[in-house]
Amino acid sequence: MPDRPAAPDSSGVERRHPVHTRPVPLLTRILIVAAALLFADQVTKSLAVAFLSGRGSVPMIPDIFHLTLVRNAGMAFGLFPAKGAGLTILTTGIILGLVIWMIRMPRSWGIRFWLGLGLVLGGAVGNWVDRLHTGGVIDFLDFRIWPVFNLADSGITCGAVWIIFQLLRGERRGRGDKDAPDPV
């Protein structure tokens, strides 16, 4: 932490005082994580379309990990195929609901959940952008034993796991006050 310039105290000895910086607001932290994931997701999807279109499945580690371009009209991991604007409208409502909830949630919840919320929000927006532009989601990560997915799907999954972990961690502690602040 940077120090302020030395100032003499009452005994004439110069002492350094740490500069106190303002903490980054929780909503800002959430939005930074979401924006970083959104950026990485959209860049990797653009690269996947540019380099994988018309190439089929490209083995990176044969029979384990391939790059396979898939346009997914369904929900996460290609589940629940859907047609039309219904899924885009549903996703829009979920994103808006998530943002409103994040703005209104108790500050202490944000301390525990900001990373997970940022990942879920960034992933949801990444797939939403695809739906608006292409009518479906661009997937390309193929581990052969699981449906093809993308970074946005990974963010949603990891964020949800983080939130569940935090909820279980709070329950395991047996705290009486669920709104008591946790250390960052």
What residues are labeled active site?
139, 153
Cross-strand pairs, 72: 137
> What DSSP string runs through 70-85?
EEE-SSGGG-S---SS
The DSSP 8-state label assigned to residue 17 in this structure reads -
3-10 long-range Cβ contacts below 8 angstroms, 24+ apart: none
List, as one string, the DSSP characters of 87-111: HHHHHHHHHHHHHHHHHHS-HHHHH
* Rounded CA separation 100/107 (Å): 14
In sequence order, what are the residues at sequence separation of 6 or more whose Cβ sits closer than 8 angstroms to the Cβ of residue 158? 116, 119
Strand partners, 149: 141
